[in-house]
Amino acid sequence: MPGVSEFFTAELAVVLNSGRRSASLLAHRAWVYRESLPATWAALADGVLDEARAKVLVDVLQHTDPAVAREVESRLIGQAAGWTTHTLRKRAVAALLAVDADAVDARRKEAERQADVRVYPSPREGMSTLAADLPAPVAAACVDLVDQLAVLLKRDGDERPIGQLRAAVLADLIQRPWDDSRPPVTAHLQLVATLGALRGESAEAGEVNRLPITIGQLRELLAQLDGLGLRTPDGGSATLALTEHDGTLRATTTLGQLRRLAQRGCATHPDDDCGCAVLDRPAPVARHDPSAAQQVFVHTRDRTCRFPGCGQRVGWADADHVIPHACGGPTDCANLCCLCRSHHRLKTFARGWRLQMGADGVLTVTTPSGITRTTRPPGMRPPPPPAESPPLEPADPDDPPPF
């Protein structure tokens, strides 16, 4: 901190009766509020924003230029109090990547050079936490592979909890990398990017398996996957998603389906350049179980359990009828959303809960006590903040009452 004595944090630690590291973190956070996030500090001081959400903004923006931090802050501060800390962090990272893509990518490359593997003591007896700094796409692939191998063990009858199986698989992969008795698995990555970013026309950030990636990482991934030529990876699959300008999912398709549609054109006007849509959401089905196309569409749209505050990934979530099928709810993408098993059971068996969903996938959940929360599909952009009303003209002091 420029202009601050190197011994300041030592004194602060004594005053607070804390460790020097805790005092240093607190002093640094205060400096970030002062230099980079004045509106966040004001909202915190006024009780408009709580400390947990303010800390999220500090965590995301502390290493960026103060002017950039204030620009990102201005985009978020009006709605930050209404978002969960998870959602706020995601929106803040996305906004930072959009505003300062080149600088973020430079910091990302420096972070990769400083990557390491560390072990920390766990609060649980006899346990430790192993942590590795990895590029987001690599981390996503590692987690997916570990999860798939753990699921295979579970299906083979291993009765240990799935989390314990994941930990055992990871330890086995590290300690016995030469073991070829494991079943072959291929990582499944969901890459989300705009067409503009794919064409190199935009610096808008992307995602891989819900983890934000910089535009530089996106380009590296596309080069590795022949993304600009678009081919299906060996042993994997590729699903393309078509969205509206606000991120609302319109349709999903495979590369093969897309090529066939391009050759066939419009079935109604095969000889005309009519401009009719040939891709749309899957049609409803007259049964309880969703079709394969509906499963792909709903999983691509939702990506996680849609219950407020839950981030359980879609592989462990059910495509559930918002209006129960037994009560007349259609098996339609506008009536299907992903819920993890716990929240699926809550919706089915707990009394007093109400769930409503619009055609765009926006889900509203109302608790038995009347509290309402809304979740949007991860790809949807939040609506713009309401326009501020113009200030009222001051009354002429010579006007007669009531002015």
Query: What pLDDT was estimated at residue 103?
Result: 81
Query: What pLDDT was estimated at residue 50?
Result: 95
Whether 53 and 80 have beta carbons less than 8 Å apart is answered as: yes
Cis peptide, bond prior to residue 402, ω within 30 of zero: yes
pTM above 0.85, yes or no: no
Pick the more confident residue, 273 or 28: 28
Give the model confidence (pLDDT) of 361-370 as tens digits: 999 999 999 9
Residue 195 in this model has a pLDDT that exceeds 70: no
Distance between CA atoms of residues 272 and 386, nearest Å? 43
- Give the burial class of 1: count Cβ atoms within 10 A of its Cβ; 0-12 exposed, 13-18 middle, 19 or more buried: middle
Distance between CA atoms of residues 267 and 328, nearest Å? 32
Enumerate residues 6+ apart whose C-beta is below 8 A from 246: 380, 381
pLDDT band at 402 (very low <50, low <70, confident <90, very high): very low
Query: What pLDDT was estimated at residue 216?
Result: 75
Domain positions in the chain = 7-114, 130-175, 191-237, 246-381
Query: What pLDDT was estimated at residue 298?
Result: 93
Q: Helices 215-224 and 136-155, interaxial angle, to 10°? A: 60
Query: What pLDDT was estimated at residue 267?
Result: 67
Find the farthest-apart pair of alpha carbons in the chain and give their distance in angstroms, rounded. Answer: 92
Whether 382 and 269 have beta carbons less than 8 Å apart is answered as: no
Residue in this structure with the two tokens 């501060």, named with its chain if needed? 77
Enumerate residues 6+ apart whose C-beta is below 8 A from 86: 309, 311
Mean pLDDT of 182-198: 69
Pick the more confident residue, 102 or 393: 102
Give the model confidence (pLDDT) of 332-374 as tens digits: 999 999 998 889 999 999 999 999 999 999 999 999 999 899 8
Enumerate residues 6+ apart whose C-beta is below 8 A from 144: 187, 188, 189, 209
Neighbours of 365 (CB within 10 A): 21
3-state SS of the chain is CCCCCCCHHHHHHHHHCCCHHHHHHHHHHHHHHHHCCHHHHHHHHCCCCCHHHHHHHHHHHCCCCHHHHHHHHHHHCCCHHHCCHHHHHHHHHHHHHHHCHHHHHHHHHHHHHCCCEEEEECCCCCCEEEEECCCHHHHHHHHHHHHHHHHHHHHCCCCCCHHHHHHHHHHHHHHCCCCCCCCCCCCCCCEECCHHHHCCCCCCCEEECCEEECHHHHHHHHHHCCCCCCCCCCCCCCEEEEECCCCCEEEEEEHHHHHHHHHHCCCCCCCCCCCCCCCCCCCCECCCCCCHHHHHHHHHHHCECCCCCCCCEHHHEEEEECCCHHHCCCECHHHEEEEEHHHHHHHHHCCCCEEEECCCCCEEEECCCCCEEEECCCCCCCCCCCCCCCCCCCCCCCCCCCC
Which residue in 272, 284, 372 sits closest to 336, CA to CA? 284
Distance between CA atoms of residues 3 and 34, nearest Å? 14
State both tokens at 79: 């709605």
Residue 100 in this model has a pLDDT that exceeds 60: yes
Distance between CA atoms of residues 18 and 10, nearest Å? 10
Name the phi and psi angles at 145, rounded to 5.
-65, -45
Distance between CA atoms of residues 100 and 214, nearest Å? 10
Least confident of 30-39, 254-263, 377-386: 254-263
Give the model confidence (pLDDT) of 120-172 as tens digits: 888 888 889 999 999 888 888 888 889 989 999 999 999 999 999 999 999 99
